[in-house]
Amino acid sequence: MTVRFDLAGKLVIVTGASSGLGRAIALRLAMDEGADVIVAARRREKLAEIAREIRERSGRNAYPVAVDLATPDGPDALFLAARRLVAERRRAERAHAVTSPESGVFGLVNNAGITHYGETVGMDRGAIDSVLQINLSAAMHLSRLFLPLFVARDRGAILNITSLGAVLPVPYQAAYAASKHGLRAFTESLAAEVRGTGVVISSFGPGGIATEMIGSSGLGGRVGPGSVLLADPAVIAGKAIRHWKRGLVSGTTGLSPRIVSAAARLPVGWLIRRIAARLYKPQAPHLRQTPWDQSFAGDECLFGTEPTDWLRTAAAQIPTGRALCIGDGEGRTSVYLAQLGHDVSVADLTSYRFGSSRWDLIVSAFVHMSPSLRIDVHARMVEAIVPGGYLIHESFAPDQLNYRTGGPTRPEMLPGLERLKTEFAGLDFETALEVVRHIADGPSARGPGGCRKSAVVQIMARKPRPGLAPQPADRYSCRS
């Protein structure tokens, strides 16, 4: 038996409400359904704007709650914030001698979501964890927190926003598809558990929507804002709410998604998957845009045209051969090595196949990555060096946070010497230093004389040949 309900005067939480579909749902709930809304998302300023718009356009109450559902504590923080708001509403009602059975939270819309667009082999652990945490884990934990209150009152409703990716594979968005498959399965399982109560558990899977996520994920290069494949968020929001109010467990919208999801279960499903793979296949690296493109767009080289002093010193000790430069943005290291006589290639971190025992020299100069990506890349670098080949590495050290003269501001992206020695296990360290020195890096340099005082890690290591005992490093220093 389906349970129908109305939302007039009820309090509903919408996650991911600062933009896109979440924003559209929050507006529709207030303007069309007469609901009060708790709008939740990370961006405090955006939430204040949407809350103000809801109040002005609908006359309903709107409460912004800034929370980061990418963190494990995010769902608990939102639950507690909602409890505090409900307590304040009830105190206000008592002060005006009014009692309303609808002052508590009636509905929860789990809309917050992100995607990662690109080849799965290029995803680091952090990217996978973020997609699963926001799209699946947060929705499950919020449902777990609010459901006992709904069951105890024998009324309440949860709407989980899934996707067309909940019913068929989405190549190049594998983690996203897995999270949406999981959320749909969770919804249907939970609906069976509360069957016979007055609680409604629904999921709604729209097709493509013209939202910020399309642009921020890089999908805009494949499916542009004006594409016929992308629907208006306001239209989808209305359909999602109507589906939810009818008490339906799962559904989608539009003829195209229904046809595609049905076809995916037929013997021609392989054709749907092949078409999707072709549609979503990422552009060639030279066509993709990254945040660095804007930084490097000017005529002047941001970090100058000369390599660092450490690279010059280390490279002078190494015979020429096949060299690979990791993340050499403006090419200053690659050009210098080529001038020395090396046969040089440059690698994109996430998609390049480093190979095995392929390179006589690999250079990594101030390439800072998230820990999970860094561990993966460093392991592939070690594997790719030929026996007897070399690694030259320089990066900012943890103490760089005290100097503030460049580099990342997140401590986890600044590994120290001992950590890097662990990540480069399998190499013999001929030089391994953690020092403070002055760096001159073109127009970006700061400080007296165009130099900047910085804390760095410097490593020159060699891959041992079979049968040779490892050699100890000839120089070690924790700081100088």
Over the stretch 434-452, which tens digit does the pLDDT of each residue have?
A: 999 887 654 444 444 445 7
362 within 8 A of 376, measured Cβ to Cβ: no
pLDDT at position 98 over 90? no
pLDDT of residue 260: 55
pLDDT of residue 171: 76
Task: Average the pLDDT over each of 161-170, 251-260, 307-316, 372-381 and give the range with the smallest value.
Answer: 251-260
pLDDT at position 301 over 60? no
What's the average model confidence in pLDDT over 92-101? 68
Cα(227)–Cα(93) distance, rounded to whole angstroms? 48
Average pLDDT, the chain: 81
Cα(462)–Cα(45) distance, rounded to whole angstroms? 51
Cα(159)–Cα(112) distance, rounded to whole angstroms? 12
pLDDT digits (tens, 9 = 90+) for 418-437: 999 999 998 999 999 999 98
Count, residues in the chain: 480
pLDDT-above-90 percentage for the chain: 49
306 within 8 A of 361, measured Cβ to Cβ: no
Q: At what angle do helices 174-193 and 138-153 cross, to 10 degrees?
A: 20
* Catalytically annotated residue among 63, 176, 336, 390: 176
Secondary structure letter of residue 34 according to DSSP: -
331 — pLDDT class (breaks 50, 70, 90): confident
Domain 292-477 homologous superfamily, CATH: Vaccinia Virus protein VP39 (3.40.50.150)
**Sequence-ordered list of residues with C-beta below 8 angstroms from that of 54, at least 6 positions apart, any chain:** 26, 27, 30, 31, 37, 39, 60, 62
Nearest-10 Cα torsion for 330, 333, 338, 343: -100
208 within 8 A of 165, measured Cβ to Cβ: no
> At the top level of CATH, which class does the domain 11-285 belong to?
alpha beta
pLDDT at position 242 over 90? yes
280 — pLDDT class (breaks 50, 70, 90): low
Distances 454 to 307, 354, 406 between C-alpha atoms, Å? 16, 30, 8
The answer to whether the pTM exceeds 0.75 is: no
Beta-strand relationship, 452-462 and 428-439: antiparallel
User: How do the domains of the chain map onto residue ranges?
Assistant: 11-285, 292-477
**Sequence-ordered list of residues with C-beta below 8 angstroms from that of 207, at least 6 positions apart, any chain:** 163, 164, 229, 231, 252, 253, 254, 256, 257, 260
324 within 8 A of 362, measured Cβ to Cβ: yes
Cα(419)–Cα(436) distance, rounded to whole angstroms? 18
Cα(477)–Cα(375) distance, rounded to whole angstroms? 23
Q: Is 176 a catalytic residue?
A: yes
Cα(404)–Cα(392) distance, rounded to whole angstroms? 24
Cα(114)–Cα(117) distance, rounded to whole angstroms? 10
Cα(187)–Cα(203) distance, rounded to whole angstroms? 6
165 — pLDDT class (breaks 50, 70, 90): confident
SS3 350: coil
pLDDT of residue 212: 46
Residue in 347, 340, 455, 448 with CA at minimum distance from that of residue 401: 455
What are the tokens at 399? 């103490």
What are the tokens at 308? 């660092």
